Amino acid sequence: MSDPQPVYLSDYQPPAYRVTHTELTFDLDPAATRVKARLLIERNNQADDKTPLVLDGEQLKLMSLAIDGTPLAESEYRLGDHGLEIHAVPASFCLESVVEIAPSENTALEGLYQSSGMYCTQCEAEGFRRITFYPDRPDVMATFTVTVIGDAQREPVLLANGNPVERGELEGGRHFVKWDDPHPKPCYLFALVAGDLHKVEDTFTTMSGRNVTLQIWVEKENLDKTEHAMASLKRSMTWDEQTYGREYDLDLFMIVAVNDFNMGAMENKGLNIFNSAAVLTHPDTATDAAFQNVEGIVAHEYFHNWSGNRVTCRDWFQLSLKEGFTVFRDQCFSADTNSAPVKRIEDVAFFRTAQFAEDAGPTAHPVRPDHYIEITNFYTLTIYEKGAEVVRMLCNLIGWEAFRRGADAYFERFDGQAVTIEDFVNCMADASGEDLGQFMRWYAQAGTPEIDAHGEYDYAHSEYHLTLRQRTPATPGQAQKQPLHIPVRMGLVGTKSGQDLTLTLAGETLGKDAVVHLRDDEQTFVFTDVAEAPVPSLLRDFSAPVKLHFPYSREELAFLLTHDSDGFNRWDAGQRLAMLALDDLIAAHRNGVEKVMDTRVTDAFKVLLTGAGASADKAVLAEMLTLPSEAYIAEQQPIVDVDAIHAAREFVRQSLAFALRDEFMAVVEANHTDEPYAPTPEQIAKRSLKNVALGYLMAIEDERAIAFCQEQLAAEHNMTDVRHALTLLVHSERDDLSRPALKAFGEKWAHDPLVMDQWFTIQVTKPQPDVLERVEFLMQHPAFSIRNPNKVRALVGAFAQNRINFHRLDGKGYALLADVVIELNRLNPEIAARLVTPLTRWQRFDETRQGLMRSQLERIKQEPLSSNVYEVVAKALA
Ligand code: B3K
Ligand code: ZN
């Protein structure tokens, strides 16, 4: 068998035929569902009557095929593994086909499959071709009428996109519902759900006064877990009206929760399908983080109704057109709804760890890739999160008002069309009059740009000279990089006054906080009338997705930590200060020298804890008291020393806890509350601050903290507190604390799959070196199933993030991951290809680990691989 071949953006051709209307009838059966399709098809102008009709189709059993009522002879078409070609067709016709598919055998969870007995679909990106023969590409947009036939007992609820227009009883205990979706859509937005579902209903009146029915469909036992998702949906609808002037466009909006789902959720028109983990919440079962995650995902999928559905992508290379923009929209929504600085800190902390790692690894790709083998592998942090950073930069460059005008023009000009990233950026250029030519390179160049900054204060002339030099490292297939247009938001903080100084550049007064535009490889900015020596505060609010290097002294960082007017940079100064201390400790560990704590970090923490200079926002404070993660520290090192990083970070945690024991305890006590749970920013802030402080105290097994954890666990007030207390007890060295607590929790929640996911994760993220055996044991647990992506992520995915355990020197961690990847390659290639990621980062480790990781990749490569896993593994070994 030959290796799978890539598809290239430069090969894009418009479709030869378009589908104007799609009529589908599903006769549901687990092993043999019949799908009847009637497609109204028209030839496009650039094609002629010799142009064959090419339809995608995979794993379909063709039962019949006819054009305008006349069955086709076998000689009139060619059937292959990937589709169907009809040699000659009229300019305009109706194609009728009947195929049979087996949802119960579909373990890939793409196309039509069964989850906990119910039928559901996932079509993006190329799942529709597993449902019927069709031009499965986003630039073919049709109206859809869908009839779903099922068993009245087993599938009392039959859902599809749009509005229900007819329903009735049929022979043999069967029934049907017919749905009509008047908005033309690409087939990746098609959805069907059937099963024994129950709904919670609400209504929303749009800004023009239309009433929309909102429904959330779940299994019966989850009816009490929908309130937060419904409230989030209504807030999202209001926010999109107020912020972007966008109104919902059908009479019905449905969300369905399913247990087996590859991603978080899917924005199918009028019928969003959600991973149950991304929609169900209850104070007893979901943490604050889960509540916030649900809010963000509900918003994200809802916002797609305009940024994705009404205006969609011409081809899958443009994926970030809808994803980057929609992530930016959901980030702004969450920032407006909760604490804006905390939202930014959380997003950036994650971005700088995970996306930077992707950009530095063998699968690095631009926000708009120019080729791929398997598009499913490109639902990445680069497409989503870096894409969102690029849209954010655009918005900051041209200002919100111009950005909003550009967005209005985009939605109006391209409504009902499938378009490109240029179309979007051109709207922004038109609305603002800016030349965004150089800016477009952000979409084409992979890799994280690095800025080396250097500053000098000229006392004699009261000038500050800031030199910025940019470079982007080579990435696979892109050796040479061109300079980018990088907006650097900044301030100069006076060392005497502690205040932002007025920025004057080339005679122009810019205010106290301004953006300088770095366009060349190197530029020097001369600020005049700088009355006192400043410390520069650079890249405020993370104004561009770059690595910024500035030779700050620890004193300067401590100064910014308390004086920077930008909350994000105050936090970042703390992270940089901690990083300097951690670097020293990592070196000490490696050289076998005694570790000594940097008292400047302790002093800074003391200032934060005791109030002087502390931010009023408790959620920000909790972030400031959180050390950089092991994964982030690893990203800063040329060769990752897994053990030294762990030892250094633990040393800092324990040193801080010993030095500030009473201060941490005071924070714990001051922020404990037993008011009724609500996922409000105020309550969440208090809980996170308390739990961060408790974490430090548990690092030294402080007796008061142990008692506090035990009480917090026993009180069962809410899952945030319960989970945190349980985690701290389980992650302590004290088996006597860990065992009974885990057992009781596991028994109590055995019936709830989402809580059991948490139970798995807590056990395999332990910092003691005996976790691998636990993973093997838990994979046999009745609550675990390799077919359920949430379980795989909670157990195996979480284990692979447990750095000291996954990277064991005997290589058993790598072998375990490879075993699971090999098994999943057959069952669910999309999940297998994601799971293999940690192994692909082998270049970052020492020689021994490199060899061990590579040999597991080689072992995987010996298998008959799906194109998904093949693409990732081949790149990693290239
Ligand atoms: N658009 C979906 C992506 C699903 C693709 C999975 N192969 C989720 C989202 O971004 O909203
Ligand atoms: Zn999305």
Looking up residue 413, the CATH number of its domain turns out to be 1.10.390.10
Find the 310 Cα to ligand 2 centroid distance in Å.
14
Instruction: Name the residue with the closest Cα to ligand 1, atom 6.
Output: 124
In terms of domains, do 510 and 389 share one? Answer: no
Q: Is residue 670 part of a domain?
A: no
Please give the Cα distance from 120 to 114 (Å, whole number). Answer: 6
In terms of domains, do 433 and 458 share one? Answer: no
Beta bridge partners of 185: 142
In terms of domains, do 422 and 483 share one? Answer: no
Contact 7, 55 (CB under 8 A): no
**Cα 637 to Cα 74, 355, 641, 806, distances in angstroms:** 62, 16, 8, 18
Q: Which atom of ligand 1 is nearest to the CA of 830?
A: 7
Ligand nearest to the CA of 327: 2
Find the 263 Cα to ligand 1 centroid distance in Å.
7
Q: Which atom of ligand 1 is nearest to the CA of 264?
A: 8
In terms of domains, do 352 and 437 share one? Answer: yes
> Is 301 an annotated catalytic residue?
yes
Say what the pLDDT of residue 376 is: 98
Most ligand 1 atoms within 8 A of CB, residue of 258, 313, 323 to mutate: 323
Any atom of ligand 1 within 6 Å of the Cβ of 436: no
Q: Is residue 120 part of a domain?
A: yes
* Listed residue (367, 406, 486) closest to 438, CA to CA: 486
Query: Which of 444, 473, 493 represents a domain boundary (last residue)?
Result: 444
Q: Which residues contact 209 (CB under 8 A, 6 or more apart)?
A: none
Question: Residue with structure tokens 């299994």?
Answer: 219
Q: Is residue 773 part of a domain?
A: yes
Find the 266 Cα to ligand 1 centroid distance in Å.
5
Beta bridge partners of 180: 145, 163
Those residues whose beta carbon sits under 5 angstroms from the ion ligand 2 are 323, 326
Pairing between strand 192-195 and 118-122? Answer: antiparallel
Q: Is residue 529 part of a domain?
A: yes
Element (H, E) at 685: helix 681-699
Contact 753, 761 (CB under 8 A): no
Q: Is residue 115 part of a domain?
A: yes
Show the CA angle centred on residue 233, arms to residues 243 and 830, nearest 5°: 105
Any atom of ligand 1 within 6 Å of the Cβ of 124: yes
Tokens at 620, concatenated: 């920000």
In terms of domains, do 469 and 377 share one? Answer: no
Contact 451, 549 (CB under 8 A): yes
Pairing between strand 157-160 and 192-195? Answer: antiparallel
Number of domains making up the chain: 4
Burial label for 369, CB within 10 Å (0-12, 13-18, 19+), is buried
Find the 210 Cα to ligand 2 centroid distance in Å.
26
Question: What's the order of all strands across the beta sheet hosting 111-115?
Answer: 111-115, 118-122, 192-195, 157-160
Q: Which atom of ligand 1 is nearest to the CA of 124?
A: 5
Instruction: Name the residue with the closest Cα to ligand 1, atom 2.
Output: 266
N-to-C CA span, the chain: 19
Q: Is residue 211 part of a domain?
A: no
Most ligand 1 atoms within 8 A of CB, residue of 260, 262, 267 to mutate: 267
Any atom of ligand 1 within 6 Å of the Cβ of 323: yes
Active-site residue, selected from the candidate residues 301, 346, 374, 556: 301
Any atom of ligand 1 within 6 Å of the Cβ of 237: no
Query: Which of 444, 478, 513 represents a domain boundary (last residue)?
Result: 444
Q: What is the 3-state secondary structure (H, E, C) of 651-676?
A: HHHHHHHHHCHHHHHHHHHHHCCCCC
C-alpha gyration radius of the chain: 28
Question: Residue with structure tokens 């994979």?
Answer: 779
In terms of domains, do 465 and 423 share one? Answer: no
Q: Is residue 569 part of a domain?
A: no
Q: Which atom of ligand 1 is nearest to the CA of 127?
A: 7
Instruction: Name the residue with the closest Cα to ligand 1, atom 5.
Output: 124
Any atom of ligand 1 within 6 Å of the Cβ of 130: no
Ligand nearest to the CA of 324: 2
Contact 221, 750 (CB under 8 A): no
Any atom of ligand 1 within 6 Å of the Cβ of 301: yes
Q: Which residues contact 549 (CB under 8 A, 6 or more apart)?
A: 450, 451, 452, 453
In terms of domains, do 771 and 874 share one? Answer: yes
Please give the Cα distance from 541 to 539 (Å, whole number). Answer: 6
Instruction: Name the residue with the closest Cα to ligand 1, atom 9.
Output: 266
For 450-463, how does the pLDDT look when each residue is reduced to its tens digit (9 = 90+)?
A: 999 999 999 999 99
CATH number, domain with residue 845:
1.25.50.10
Query: Which of 173, 196, 219 represents a domain boundary (last residue)?
Result: 196
In terms of domains, do 405 and 500 share one? Answer: no
For 96-143, how does the pLDDT look when each residue is reduced to its tens digit (9 = 90+)?
A: 999 999 999 999 999 999 999 999 999 999 999 999 999 999 999 999
In terms of domains, do 473 and 517 share one? Answer: yes
In terms of domains, do 422 and 454 share one? Answer: no
In terms of domains, do 38 and 184 share one? Answer: yes
Count how many Cα atoms sit within 13 Å of the Cα of residue 715 in the half-sphere of its side chain: 21
Ligand nearest to the CA of 278: 1
**What is the span of the domain harbouring residue 100?**
1-196
CATH number, domain with residue 118:
2.60.40.1730
Any atom of ligand 1 within 6 Å of the Cβ of 126: no
CATH number, domain with residue 481:
2.60.40.1840
Total length of the chain: 878
Any atom of ligand 1 within 6 Å of the Cβ of 297: no
Please give the Cα distance from 839 to 842 (Å, whole number). Answer: 6
Residue 645: left if φ>0, alpha if ψ -120 to 50, beta else—which one? alpha
Neighbours of 59 (CB within 10 A): 16
Pairing between strand 463-471 and 522-527? Answer: antiparallel
In terms of domains, do 332 and 429 share one? Answer: yes
* Listed residue (518, 513, 467, 509) closest to 491, CA to CA: 513
Q: Which residues contact 421 (CB under 8 A, 6 or more apart)?
A: 318, 320, 321, 368, 443
Say what the pLDDT of residue 769 is: 87
Q: Which residues contact 748 (CB under 8 A, 6 or more apart)?
A: none
Pairing between strand 118-122 and 211-218? Answer: unpaired
Backbone angles phi, psi at 260, to 5 degrees: -110, 110
Q: Is residue 758 part of a domain?
A: yes
Mean per-residue pLDDT pooled into runs of 10, the chain (878 residues): 91 98 99 99 96 98 98 98 98 98 98 98 98 98 99 98 98 98 98 98 98 98 98 99 98 98 98 98 98 98 99 99 99 96 97 98 98 98 99 97 98 98 98 98 98 98 98 98 98 98 97 97 98 98 98 97 95 98 98 98 95 73 97 96 98 98 96 95 96 98 98 98 98 94 98 98 95 98 98 98 98 98 98 98 98 98 98 98
Instruction: Name the residue with the closest Cα to ligand 1, atom 8.
Output: 266
Backbone angles phi, psi at 547, to 5 degrees: -100, 125
Instruction: Name the residue with the closest Cα to ligand 1, atom 10.
Output: 323
